[in-house]
Every structure is written in C-alpha cells, then in structure tokens.
Amino acid sequence: MAKTFKNFIDGSWVAPTTGEHYENRNPADWSDLIGRFPKSGPKDVDRAVRAAARGFELWRRVPAPARGDVLRRVGDLLTERKEEIARAMTREMGKVLAETRGDVQEGIDTAYYAAGEGRRLFGYTVPSELRNKWAMSYRRPIGVAGIITPFNFPMAIPTWKIFPALLCGNAVVFKPSVDVPHTGTLLVETLLDAGLPPEVIQLVHGSGGAVGSAITAHPKVQLVSFTGSTEIGARLGEMCGRTHKRLSLEMGGKNAMIVMDDADLDLALDGVLWGAFGTTGQRCTATSRLLLHRKVHDRFLRTLVDRVEKLRLGSGLLPTTDVGPMINEAALLNTARYVDIARQDGNELLCGGRRAGGERLRKGWFYRPTVFAGVKPGDRLEQEEVFGPVLALVRISSLDQAIRVNNDVKYGLSSALYTRDVNGAFRAAQDLDAGITYINAPTIGAEAHLPFGGVKETGNGHREGGWEVYEFFSETKVVYVDYSGTLQRAQIDTYDQ
C-alpha cells in the first residue's frame, strides 16, 4: 500500500480537513504509485495562515544572521540528501537524474547564498541635509508569504522563494504543484530537521484552484510569489490588486536562440539540443524558437534532425536516457495540440510530432522530440508557449531581422545568440527584449546568484535569485535620528545655519 502523505500545519503533520486525497504517479510508469497526497481546502489554508502569522511574530525577532545559520544547515542537509532527493524527484517529475541533481544543487546554492545574506541584508546610511542628524534605511520583514510553485523545478524554484522569504524574517505557507508534492514534502522535512521553528513553515497540498486561490485571497497573507502560466498569473494579479498585496510573478516564455552564419555550428548544435529538449522542453527558459541564418540554415537543419532523432527516451533514472517523459497527460495533449496547429499553419514537420510507442514507453507520458521548419514570424508555433519538446525553426537573413523577430512576441524571459562577432553580440545584449541574454550558450541554465526574471508578459517587474529577490521579501524602513536637541525643519533650515 502506498503511503498517505499529510500537510504540515501549526507544527504537526495533519490530514486535510476535506478528508480527500489524490494519487501521485511516476510519469514514466503509471503503475508506480508514489503516494496519496492531501486534496486540501480553504479551511486547511486558513489554519495554516493563522499558524504562520503566529510564527511570524516569533521569527521576525530572530536576528538575521541566526536565521541565516538555519539556512546554512538546510544547505548542509540538502548536500547530504542530494542523491536521495534527486532520485525521488526523477521518480515523481520525470527529468533525468543529472538534471534533478542539478535541481537540488540549485537549492543548495540558494541556501548558502541566503545564509551569507543573513550577515548583509544591507540598508543605506546617507548624509542628512541637517546638522547633527542621521538618516538611514534598513530592511524589515513583511509577514506571511504565500509560495505557489510549478512542477518543473520541484526543489530549485521553491527554494528561490522560500529561502529569501525566511532569511528576511517572513513566515511561509507553501503550496507545491500537485504533480510534485513528494519533493515539496522532502524540502519541508529538511527545513524542520535543520531547526527552523515549525510555526514558520506550513505546507498545504492541493490544487491551485482550491489551495492557491485561498492562500492568495487570505487577508493575513501579505505577499505572494508565484511561478506558472501567464493566465493564472493574471488572475492572481487581479486578486492581489484588490487588496494591495505584494506579488511576484514568473511566467511564460517563447525564448529564441539566434544562430548567425559566423557561429561555431557544432557548439550551437549542442546548445540547441540542450536548450530545447532538456527537461523535455518543460522550462519557461526553454529554447522554443531557433532563428537560423539563411546561409547555414539547410546544413544546420540536417545535422540537427539527425541528432534529435538519436535522443533516447526513457525513465530518467536510467543512465541511457537523454529525455524523460512529460509531466502528465494534459501536458502531452497540449503538445500534441500545438503539433496539429503547426501542421495546419503549413509548418514542416521534420521529426517527432507523435507520442513515443513501444512496450517500454507505453505506460508513460512520452512524446518524441519534435522539430518544425518553415515557421514564419507570427505563426502560432512561433508566438505561443508550448511547454513541451517542440522546436520551431525560423529562417532569418540578418541580426537586425533576428532581433525584430525575437522581440515580436508577448514574452521576454531568456534569449541566446551564437556568433563570433563581438559587436553583434553586444548589440544583441542591448536590444533583445528579455530578462536574460546568453552569448554562445543556450537559453537555459541561469545561475542562482544572479537576478532571474523576464520582461513584458513574462513577469511583473520583480526578480528572483541573486540580491534582488531580497528586495521583494522585505520592506524598506527609513529612520531619522536628530540629536541636535533643537527643532530642525527639513527642506527649510537646510543651508542657512
């Protein structure tokens, strides 16, 4: 019998008040049942938020360096548990072990960065315009943070949000994706084992509609951080707008890799395979458009198709696997739908375009890595995020044209240019409308200590990672100390003393 997992609310592991559970199965093999997880409801969220509000009163007073020490221990424990968590993650999410190890590593890096930040969390001290007066700012915790995360980085993305939130002194209510509740549970267990006061973290499993909305709507939740689709992000934006909650959104992408005629084509080939089909294309940073210079177009395309056809599908736990399954049936059907749309639009299917068959793959959500050529700017496959293993090839004639095509989508997360022309490279870094530009590297693989996020409908102006996320999870307070013993009037008594 598979285990029945629980929520973590108010310091203990508890069953959901709804009494309902759902099954979580291995996407590479549905006969493998990972466990039954709570289908929680608004009552569970309400209990969790109230407990977190109590936790906040306690945690906010713990000195930031001491909060950082807890996160350092979290980093140590994640390091010890890396292999175990990576295996559990591959089993529940599907991507290959090398990638799930990388996913845990990103969590470890984020933990150690947060630990160090406990001794920084800088404010400013600036001169006052008056004599015998100091002016300074410092960063204060905000309150209860609702953290709503997707399936594709089951460890890394929650850590990007939860660790800075905690370091800044907030309490957290965490809702992992329904597809990866086990990894979410392992993360919370690690936080508790590291000595985080239990009131400070709450874990509520369940759907976005039931649990995510209840967290976002709850009056005692002051800030929400969400990674997921642009459509859901817009809904959360409306909800937070009504109550003036602080909201950080990280959403869709339609990232392009530009390959110029002077590029190192072997390097670009390795790059596009990794960028387009790593994580089975299920990244918001995935390379989903390849803008190929016409002079290298046909040659590049032939080798590309040859290499894509050689990619081996299978369980991510096997060392022979290059590409794992998709996360679930809905994701696979959505990919198949986009393949139909592309065909109807007259795009030319070069390889893939169907579910993977065969005895070995029959019981998983496997879809063949797919490449379409002859995609024109404005076609739906060129404009819309698929979130699956589908690459759209667009022929371009110049860097200027490539930049225009790149920019003419509603998203702006990542971008890449392969070239040996240093002037072109800097121009692209300047003119590509995206939060990230890679030169001679694919669109995926952002590092944990730099700000991560996008422009246009990819985000709402906030950044995760690096130093910027600490701004989101804390509020600036300014303190003036006048030790002159007299009434000094700012903007009035300034220079005539």
Is residue 11 within 8 Å of residue 199, measured between CB atoms?
yes
Please report how close the Cβ of residue 262 comes to ligand UN1 at its closest, in angstroms.
Answer: 26
Q: Provide the mask over 280-319, with x wherever binding to ligand UN1 is found by CB under 6 A and - wherever it is not.
A: ---xxx----------------------------------
Q: Is 39 in the site for ligand UN1 (CB under 6 A)?
A: no
Q: Provide the mask over 118-157, with x wherever binding to ligand UN1 is found by CB under 6 A and - wherever it is not.
A: ----------------------------------xx----
Please report how close the Cβ of residue 246 comes to ligand UN1 at its closest, in angstroms.
Answer: 20
Cβ closer to ligand UN1: 141 or 465?
465
The residue to which tokens 């976002």 are assigned: 216
The residue to which tokens 């039931």 are assigned: 210
Strands 29-38, 21-26: pairing is: antiparallel
Q: Is 463 in the site for ligand UN1 (CB under 6 A)?
A: no
Q: Backbone phi, then psi, for 489, in 5-degree steps?
A: -100, 115
Q: How far apart are CA 168 and CA 118, in angstroms?
A: 8
Is residue 445 within 8 Å of residue 98, measured between CB atoms?
no
Please report how close the Cβ of residue 444 comes to ligand UN1 at its closest, in angstroms.
Answer: 3
Please report how close the Cβ of residue 53 comes to ligand UN1 at its closest, in angstroms.
Answer: 29
Please report how close the Cβ of residue 236 comes to ligand UN1 at its closest, in angstroms.
Answer: 16
Footprint on residues 218-277 left by ligand UN1 (CB under 6 A): 227
Cβ closer to ligand UN1: 352 or 442?
442
Stretch touching ligand UN1 by CB under 6 A, among 124-132, 232-240, 279-287, 390-398: 279-287
Stretch touching ligand UN1 by CB under 6 A, among 265-273, 314-322, 351-359, 441-449: 441-449
Residue 72's Cα: distance from chain center in Å? 22
Query: Would you call 250 a catalytic residue per the annotation?
Result: yes
Residue count at the site for ligand UN1 (CB under 6 A)? 9
Cβ closer to ligand UN1: 276 or 446?
446
Please report how close the Cβ of residue 25 comes to ligand UN1 at its closest, in angstroms.
Answer: 22
Q: Is 110 in the site for ligand UN1 (CB under 6 A)?
A: no
Query: Would you call 129 a catalytic residue per the annotation?
Result: no
The residue to which tokens 């990894």 are assigned: 183
Stretch touching ligand UN1 by CB under 6 A, among 340-348, 359-367, 440-448, 468-476: 440-448
Q: Which of 99, 199, 250, 382 is catalytic?
A: 250
**What one-character-per-residue DSSP string does 258-296 give?**
EE-TTS-HHHHHHHHHHHHHGGGG-STT-EEEEEEEHHH
Please report how close the Cβ of residue 415 comes to ligand UN1 at its closest, in angstroms.
Answer: 12
Please report how close the Cβ of residue 493 comes to ligand UN1 at its closest, in angstroms.
Answer: 52
Is residue 218 within 8 Å of residue 49, measured between CB atoms?
yes
Q: Which long-range contacts (CB under 8 A, 24 or more apart) does 394-397 make?
A: 394/256, 394/289, 394/290, 394/291, 394/292, 395/292, 395/294, 395/297, 396/258, 396/291, 396/292, 396/293, 396/294, 397/293, 397/294
**What one-character-per-residue DSSP string does 14-39 give?**
E--TT--EEEEEETTEEEEEEEEEE-
Token pair listed for 135: 């002016």
CB atoms within 10 A of CB 161: 27
Cβ closer to ligand UN1: 110 or 222?
110
Q: Which of 106, 284, 351, 385 is catalytic?
A: 284
All residues at 6 or more sequence positions from 484 whose CB lies less than 8 Å from its CB, including other chains: 130, 131, 132, 133
CB atoms within 10 A of CB 244: 8
Q: How far apart are CA 260 and CA 264, in angstroms?
A: 9
Q: Is 445 in the site for ligand UN1 (CB under 6 A)?
A: yes
Cβ closer to ligand UN1: 121 or 155?
155
Cβ closer to ligand UN1: 376 or 449?
449
Beta bridge partners of 172: 145, 201
Cβ closer to ligand UN1: 117 or 250?
250
Q: Is 446 in the site for ligand UN1 (CB under 6 A)?
A: yes
Residues at the site binding ligand UN1, with contacts judged by CB under 6 A: 152-153, 227, 283-285, 444-446
Cite the active site residues. 250, 284
